[in-house]
Amino acid sequence: MASYPFKQIESRWQQQWKELELYRVQEHSSLPKFYVLDMFPYPSGAGLHVGHPLGYIASDIVSRYKRLKGFNVLHPMGYDAFGLPAEQYAIQTGQHPSITTNTNIKRFREQLDRMGFCYDWSREVRTCDPAYYRWTQWIFSLLFTHWYDPGKQSARPIADLLTHFQQYGSQNLQAHTSFQGSFTADEWNSYNATEREHILNAFRLAYIDETTVNWCQEMGTVLANEEVINDPKKGPVSERGGFPVERRKMKQWFLRITAYADRLLQGLDGLEWSESIKEIQRNWIGKSTGAELDFHLVEKPGAITVFTTRPDTIFGATFLVLAPEYEQLAELCSDAQRDAVMAYASKAKNRSEIDRMADTEKTGVFTGAMVRHPFTGKQLPVWVSDYVLSGYGTGAIMAVPAHDDRDFEYARVFDLPIVPVIHASEGTITEPLQEAYSAKEGVCFNSDFLNGLQIKEAISKAISEVVSRGIGRSKTNYKLREAGFGRQRYWGEPIPIVFDEKGVPSLVEELPVELPAVERYTPSGSGASPLAAVEHWVNTEHGTRETDTMPGWAGSSWYFLRYTDPHNAEQFASAEALNYWGQVDLYVGGSEHATGHLLYSRFWTKFLYDLGYISWDEPFRRLVNQGMIMGEDGQKMSKRWGNVVNPDDVCEDYGADTLRLYEMFLGPLTDSKPWNTNGIEGVSRFLNKFWRLYMVEDSCVVSNDEPTREELKLLHKTIQKVTSDIESMSFNTSVSAFMVAVNELQAAKCRKRAILEPLLILLAPFAPHITEELWSNLGHHNSVHCAAWPSFNPEYLTENEFNYPVSINGKTRTFISFALDAEESFIRETVCSNPDVMKWVEDKPLKKLIIVKGRIINMVI
RNA sequence: GCCCGGAUGGCGGAAUUGGUAGACGCGCCAGACUCAAAAUCUGGUGAUGGCAACAUCGUGCAGGUUCGAUUCCUGUUCCGGGCACCA
């Protein structure tokens, strides 16, 4: 028997849908909205393999289902089109990256179209399109002209800040800033532009900072920490290409994401995201609460401030440790130790963070400086060691070797005193300690006013004591770093900034700032992007252009907003469109974006919310991370392993509907699983069986006969199962529910319209082509995708009898049927007199009889 | 090292609030149709013992709670992912 004619059917309906603009959506609708989004792809030259569409199929099913349920569904697609591969290709071939990108997009589109997705392509966005990136630049401009007020918990215009400075100087200002000094209003008013900008820069949400960066000479650019990996042989190398990476000081654009750290953390609680992704973000933000304590120097004026989360262990502090980058290191150390200290520090500074972390052997040098313990007045030595990170807290710690593993190890290596001050609630500590007691549970001793307190109480007591004595303050720290925003590359959004002759930056008013044509795409090697060579572009009447471009994540941090109004030339999106579509209701994509894209999008959303452009401050209400599809050999699908399966080939051999169903049938959406070519046959067989329920030869054989109660029961069981499965995104089990239904209908030779027509609608989101064809064969002139989802009637499922499993001591021994409303005494009697049961019971006395209505009967003897 | 997941037949996987473990599919075995094959259809298929009825065992491992545990609790092993000197 030949297969149903999927080839004709699929291409014909795809063509029809396109002509009818079936999937085009409008905002003016009285229907409730639903916004389903896929993470848009980077259009690579390799095209799609069968792993990519997994999430697209899932979101397509939900979109179609929601539409059938009566929602106005926004389901758009676009391209994250700026990126390194197109630029690398340009460097090698001289071809403009936009050409490569367009070719790749065309190929992606063909592949996507072939799978029958219901995207509204009229809303496509491309991040590399000037009409799009002018708004990316516009958001950057807003970040540049705003600062963060932690009191109001909101971003505010720089203008407010200027007013404040003019009137009060730096007094009484609540701001998230890296500015450390203070000035009066008079001083401010006397400052020149350069001096003012130096201060404002410390407040702007988009600002310039000189920091040590990961410089990759080969790629001619700076890399983020997450783009650098540690090669055991070569040391730090780029994730892409494996080129060596070194440390370099460079001026860079940054976004002050840490201003939003607490809101980014709090906001997670209300989101319907997987616990693991939320946990990754929580760890990434890394909030820790504790105290800053001041340790005054013995022989010099001044103090060293340390951050600790364990102020309860203050009486166990036996020395301080400074990071090699500690600013006052040179002034602090004694003359005798200076050479040794500086030699150690410069050696440590040249090692990358990654290198330092890989090596956990404790090293360090005594600085010669002593400080006074703020409570006991005892003198403590100050050391310098690379196990203390300069970027976290104050770059200095108080070492409590008895209760911290790292300090313990250090004290061991340099033979420093170890003083225990906490013991487990049960029992005491035996000295000498074999390892640090770092548990967060126990009782203080040897600790003056903290003695006898539990750790938790001791922490708050210690902080209040520190505050009242003026030797410190309570303090919260975050691991989250500011987000580097400059790349020395060509193929990215230009940063809309010009610098005047004094180096003061200002915004370019007229957007977009378009990428100019360049002769060569190769980085200059001096740290500047290829744009720096385009003199006529760089030099403008207002000043010199910034030649860095934005990182890959800029355009993807707000694209979900643009889809609501993608062709708007006046605004990034109209308030009407934004208000109508609102938050993304369901976002489907890979979990690899946990700390990048997903965090940055949340940041930009909160920022735009603060400015009143949108009325919600979380972009993605529900997030589902699809798993990876591995090759048949269990390895990641890639050219390298030669195990790539192309969706085009599957569509060619089995059809798009089979591909869609099979990907869903493979297992739970969120799991990773291997592709198995054999398995696809089963799904293909199912669709053929399904087809033959309706069709014999070329004619539709569906009848108008009355369905039986059994048939209705099967239908409604399927409605119930498929509906709840789509809601919970358990598509694998709905596919098996369809298989069960078809098997049973085939066995019952049921060809009744009253059953087969609703079944067609149920399957339509999964297999849009075959269902459309059959729907049309049933005589309909509209699309099955515009029908109404069948409603579930529980009456058809009610049973009046149940075949009870009867177990004796928990083991099923026989089955007996009872009416569901049967009296317990009747059941008891019948069960006890049943011959099968009696055989097992013999003459043992019945201890207990458990009857769970509609489930089980259990005898305990 | 720390934090999250997970472990069920030959394979992918199913199992509601604790209530008939193995749905559905693949693979395999047998049969029907056929000159033959493909396709299709029917039956069987967790392990062990038995001609069979049936029995015993069985959800990584060891315990516990319960009339009853894949499901809950404690410990443990392995696998996957994240973080990794963050004080």
Please give the domain boundaries of chain A with CATH numbers for all domains.
140-260+482-545 (no CATH), 288-477 (3.90.740.10), 649-794 (1.10.730.10), 799-860 (3.10.20.590)
Minimum CA–C1' distance nucleotide for A356: B85
Quote the pLDDT of residue A606: 97
- Nearest nucleic acid nucleotide to A840, CA to C1' distance: B55
How is residue A622 written in tokens? Answer: 């529900």
Q: How far: A43 CA to B67 C1' (Å)?
A: 61
In sequence order, which residues have a C-beta less than 8 Å from that of residue A493 and are 6 or more positions away?
A82, A127, A133, A136, A137, A140, A549, A550, A554, A555
Nucleotide nearest to A406 (CA to C1'): B85
Query: How far is A56 from A62, CA to CA, in rounded Å?
Result: 10
Mapping DSSP to helix (H, G, I), strand (E, B) and coil, where does residue A483 land? strand
Q: Which residues contact A528 (CB under 8 A, 6 or more apart)?
A: A488, A547
The amino acid sitting at A141 is S
CA pair distance A700, A359, nearest whole angstrom: 73
Q: Which nucleotides of B are covered by protein (CB under 7 A)?
A: 3-5, 11-15, 17, 19-21, 23-27, 38-42, 55-56, 67-69, 80-87
Q: How far apart are CA A748 and CA A708, in angstroms?
A: 10
Comparing every residue's Cα with the C1' atom of nucleotide B4, the nearest one is A276
CA–CA distances in Å: residue A737 to residues A367, A711, A714, A857: 72, 14, 10, 28
Task: Count how many Cα atoms sit within 13 Å of the Cα of residue A457 in the half-sphere of its side chain.
Answer: 10
User: What pLDDT is attached to residue A357?
Assistant: 60
Taking each helix axis from N to C end, the angle separating A709-727 and A53-68, rounded to the nearest 10 degrees, works out to: 120
- CA–CA distance, A674 with A677 (Å, rounded to integer): 10
Closest nucleotide relative to residue A858's CA, C1' based: B67
CA distances for A670 relative to A60, A283, A437, A554, A627, angstroms: 16, 22, 40, 27, 5
Q: How far apart are CA A531 and CA A523, in angstroms?
A: 9
How many CA atoms lie within 13 Å of A38's alpha carbon, on the beta-carbon side? 29
DSSP-derived secondary structure letter, A428: -
Q: How many CB atoms lie within 10 A of CB A393?
A: 20
Please state, in angstroms and rounded to a whole number, the distance separating the CA atoms of residues A659 and A687.
Answer: 11
Of the candidates A220, A275, A218, A222, the residue with the CA atom closest to the CA atom of residue A250: A222
- Please tell me the predicted confidence (pLDDT) of residue A228: 67
> Which nt is closest to the CA of A359, judged by C1'?
B85
- DSSP secondary structure letter of residue A357: H
The spacing between the Cα labelled CA in A630 and the C1' in B7, in angstroms, equals: 19
Strand partners, A209: A252
Considering only CA atoms, which residue is closest to the C1' of nucleotide B83? A283
Q: How many CA atoms lie within 13 A of A562 on its CB side?
A: 31
What rounded mean pLDDT belongs to chain A? 90
Q: Where are the beta strands (DSSP E) in A536-597?
A: 539-540, 543-545, 586-589
Are A405 and A335 spatial neighbours (Cβ–Cβ below 8 Å)?
no
CA A536 to chain centre: 41
Rg (CA), chain A: 34
Bridge-based pairing state of the strands A586-589 and A623-625: parallel
Judge whether A797 and A713 are in contact, CB under 8 Å: yes
- Alpha-carbon distance values, A123 to A118, A564, A651 (Å): 12, 8, 26
| Beta-sheet pairing, A246-255 with A206-216 | antiparallel
**How much is the pLDDT for A677?**
81
Beta bridge partners of A807: A812, A858
Phi-psi region of A149 (alpha: psi -120 to 50; beta: other; left: phi over 0): beta
Amino acid at A758: P
Please report the pLDDT score of residue A354 as a whole number. Answer: 57
Q: How far is the CA of A108 from the C1' of B70 (A)?
A: 43
Output the pLDDT for position A438.
83
Q: Can you give the distance from the CA of residue A345 to the C1' of nucleotide B13 in angstroms?
A: 57
Element (H, E) at A369: strand A365-372
CA atoms within 13 A on the CB side of A222: 27
Regions of chain A with pLDDT less than 70 = 1-2, 224-236, 239-240, 351-360, 427-428, 525
Interatomic distance A860 CA / B55 C1' (Å):
20
Q: Structure tokens of A487?
A: 């790349």
* Length A276 CA → B74 C1' (Å): 24
pLDDT value, residue A359: 65
Residue A612 pLDDT: 97
**pLDDT recorded at residue A529:** 87
CA of A681, C1' of B45: distance in angstroms: 20
* pLDDT of A192: 95
Question: Could you tell me the two tokens for A655?
Answer: 């059809």
Phi and psi at residue A122, to the nearest 5°: -70, -15
- Closest residue to B20 (CA to C1') is A805
C-alpha dihedral, A841 to A847 to A851 to A857, nearest 10°:
-30
Neighbour count for residue A457 (Cβ, 10 Å) = 14
Protein residue with the closest CA to the C1' atom of nucleotide B15: A733
Q: Contact, A260 vs A332, CB < 8 A?
A: no
> Tell me, in Å, how far CA of A731 is from C1' of B11?
20
ipTM score for this prediction: 0.94
Closest of A843, A855, A848, A842 to residue A806, by C-alpha: A855
Lookup: nucleotide whose C1' is closest to A676 CA: B12
- Residue-level pLDDT at A757: 96
A815 CA vs B81 C1’ separation (Å): 45
**Backbone dihedral angles phi then psi of residue A620, each to the nearest 5 degrees:** -125, 105
**Separation between Cα atoms, residue A174 and residue A148, nearest integer Å:** 9
| Contacts with A117 (C-beta within 8 Å, 6 or more apart), sequence order | A56, A60, A77
Residues 6+ away with beta carbon under 8 Å from A457: none
Structure confidence by residue, pLDDT tens digits, A269-282: 889 998 888 988 99
A654-676 exposure pattern, b = at least 16 Cβ within 10 A, e = fewer = bbbbbbbbbbbbbeebeeebbbe
Whose C1' is closest to the CA of A665: which nucleotide?
B25
